[in-house]
Structure 1
Amino acid sequence: MPALPAFSAPWRDRAGRVSGLKLATFLFALAPGLWLAGAYAADALGAKPITALLHGTGEWAVRFLMLSLAVTPLRRIAHAPKLILVRRMLGLTVLAYGLIHLMLYVVDQNFVLTKVVSEIVSRIYLTIGFVALLGLTVLGITSTDGMIRRLGKAWPRLHKTVYVIAILGLIHYFLQAKIDVSDPVFWTGAFLLLMGHRAMQRLGWPTNPLTLLGLAVAAALVTALLEAAWYGVASGIPASLVLSANLDFPETIRPAWWVLALGLAVPMLNAVRARMDKSGRGKPKPAPAMRPAPAREAVAAR
């Protein structure tokens, strides 16, 4: 088979064929940016369009970061090994939205780079966000097959810093949100779910609908407590009032309920796939003999 060109289209697999999964992921990665660009062109972003673009790109960077972290748990729980094919694409999408986010901040500061640097240094939430972006840049630069081979065993250790980067990104999200932190609270709850799945795997706990249900409930409770603690510290609102607001369901659906719904979807997915595997419909077909996996797919999943 002839070697693929160095810069193959992102929607093609290693054999040069169009991959439906990679194509769908590529289009999904482009969609938010295209929507924001279209809304800006149509003057539909309100009185401060650059600010709206700035917030939009930052929010999508966080969302795609969580999606990239969800690849490994979903591969195990949903028995979907092919998801590994899009993890690098999702990671680079996070970096792209993060860099656009920074460029828009420069635009918002009228291209006065001295002011940009001064603000990043003096404002803690900007410092945290910039450090997270630097970390993403390092991960992006070292995500190529050549860098994976060059770094060897150091590559997995380096790329595990994505968890620290995610925490920094969420802290930045919280601090810039200031008043309404519903979205940061939800995505932090989603991050807790993802980290819970990894902890279960590391501890050797079984991954079944019952244990996943317990994780969903635990993550939702911690999310509710986190929201109450944040408002209590940031605005002095009594934690009891925030916690009681979580019980006003369905009058007001707080982030903890959305985290619970997200967590409950996982054991349902796991149960469906287990039943499909038991009936034989979900079992993968035997793969033909093939050459050794490329370096990026041979590395242990983070």
Structure 2
Amino acid sequence: MTVHPRIAAPRPASPRIAWPWLDRAGRLSRFKLAVFLLALAPGLWFTAAYALDRLGAKPLTAYLHAMGDWSVRFLILSLAVTPMRRIANAPKLILVRRMLGLTALAYALVHFTLYVADQKFDLARVASEIVFRIYLTIGFAGLLGLTVLGVTSTDGMIRRLGKTWPRLHRLVYPLTALALLHFFLQSKIDVSSPVYWSGLFLALMGWRLMHHLKVPSTPLPLLGLSLAAGLATVGLETAWYALATGVPASAVLAANLDFSYDVRPAWWVLATVILIVPLNLWQNRTASGGRGPVGRPAPAR
């Protein structure tokens, strides 16, 4: 009688951790590692500043506001990936789009956690504030939405949701608008920073409108986009001050033409967006003919 040894069933392979600095093949990506470290830098800097009591008279308040500000910045940067990928002919940028979006979510979660800490972890009071203070209601709604997008951003969820996934993740645009409105409302009097980032958001939405209308991403349309973004930013700042503080529109417009005290956000938006024109010119000169016509609208995702 032959006794056959028992053969153990093979164990299922343990899932591999998708570290943010690795590519899909599991190899180190220097580009992704660099972006990951840059994404960590603001959080580490403000955490150290808070620990060393370098954030002024109200360090916790300054800390939580900084985390919220950086959440908005990374959210805008994540939306800029697709336009810049096309305009600057930089396909590698797509490798960090998800990372930037998750970084925005991480900073938003830290922002909310610090707010709870600022309220002495009184959850009943936190809930009451969220219900009765409109800027907190808006911010919390945006946080919930970003959390949903973050949870469904994995490869597995993309496969599971199928055609629903792109529709779901298009919610990032209204969620960004909510985040910017929250930014405005909590900034009180000086809204220079939210105006600037809102201007960039308008520029990104303008690029998507160009794509929808099949306008090529070539220097002349991009120059027009930069001018339109600057003017839209002036209009946004004027409307905000008129509605929120009663400052006459003429005073805001005059301030935008007076450089003796400060440079208004619209000019910074114009300068930022106009930088893409030389980038696009460089791309036109270096792109090979085999890649197809430069400037043809690429799928906007």
Structure 1 residue 6, shift from structure 2 partner: 2.4
The corresponding residue for 1:287 is: none
- Tell which structure's C-alpha radius of gyration is larger: 2
Structure 1 residue 279, shift from structure 2 partner: 9.3
The corresponding residue for 1:249 is: 259
Please give the alpha-carbon distance, in whole angstroms, between the structure 2 residues aligned to 1:279 and 1:163: 34
CA pair 12-250 structure 1, distance change in 2 beyond 3 A? farther
CA contact (8 A) 2:211 2:300 kept: no
The corresponding residue for 1:36 is: 46
Query: Secondary structure of 1:245's partner?
Result: helix
The one-letter amino acid of 1:148's match is I
Please give the alpha-carbon distance, in whole angstroms, between the structure 1 residues aligned to 2:199 and 2:300: 22
The corresponding residue for 2:8 is: none
Q: Does residue 64 of structure 1 match 2:66?
A: no
Where does the alignment leave 5 or more consecutive residues of structure 2 unmatched? 1-12, 292-298
CA pair 279-154 structure 1, distance change in 2 beyond 3 A? closer
CA contact (8 A) 1:69 1:194 kept: yes
Query: Secondary structure of 1:44's partner?
Result: coil
Structure 1 residue 225, shift from structure 2 partner: 1.3
Q: 2:20 aligns with which of 4, 7, 10?
A: 10
Please give the alpha-carbon distance, in whole angstroms, between the structure 1 residues aligned to 2:260 and 2:203: 23
Quote the RMSD (CA, aligned, Å).
1.7
4+ long deviations beyond 4 Å: none
Where does the alignment leave 5 or more consecutive residues of structure 1 unmatched? 284-299
Please give the alpha-carbon distance, in whole angstroms, between the structure 2 residues aligned to 1:203 and 1:279: 24
Please give the alpha-carbon distance, in whole angstroms, between the structure 1 residues aligned to 2:19 and 2:116: 31
Q: Does residue 204 of structure 1 match 2:201?
A: no
Query: Secondary structure of 2:287's partner?
Result: helix
Q: Does residue 167 of structure 1 match 2:177?
A: yes
The one-letter amino acid of 2:197's match is W
Structure 1 residue 24, shift from structure 2 partner: 0.8
Q: Residues 182-193 of structure 1: matches in 2 within 5 Å?
A: 182-193=192-203
Q: Residues 104-183 of structure 1: matches in 2 within 5 Å?
A: 104-183=114-193
Task: Name the count of aligned residue pairs.
Answer: 283
Please give the alpha-carbon distance, in whole angstroms, between the structure 2 residues aligned to 1:21 and 1:279: 27
Please give the alpha-carbon distance, in whole angstroms, between the structure 2 residues aligned to 1:144 and 1:235: 43
CA contact (8 A) 1:189 1:259 kept: yes
Q: Does residue 230 of structure 1 match 2:230?
A: no
Please give the alpha-carbon distance, in whole angstroms, between the structure 2 residues aligned to 1:233 and 1:161: 27
Q: Residues 278-293 of structure 1: matches in 2 within 5 Å?
A: none
CA contact (8 A) 2:75 2:101 kept: yes
The corresponding residue for 2:285 is: 275
The one-letter amino acid of 2:268's match is W
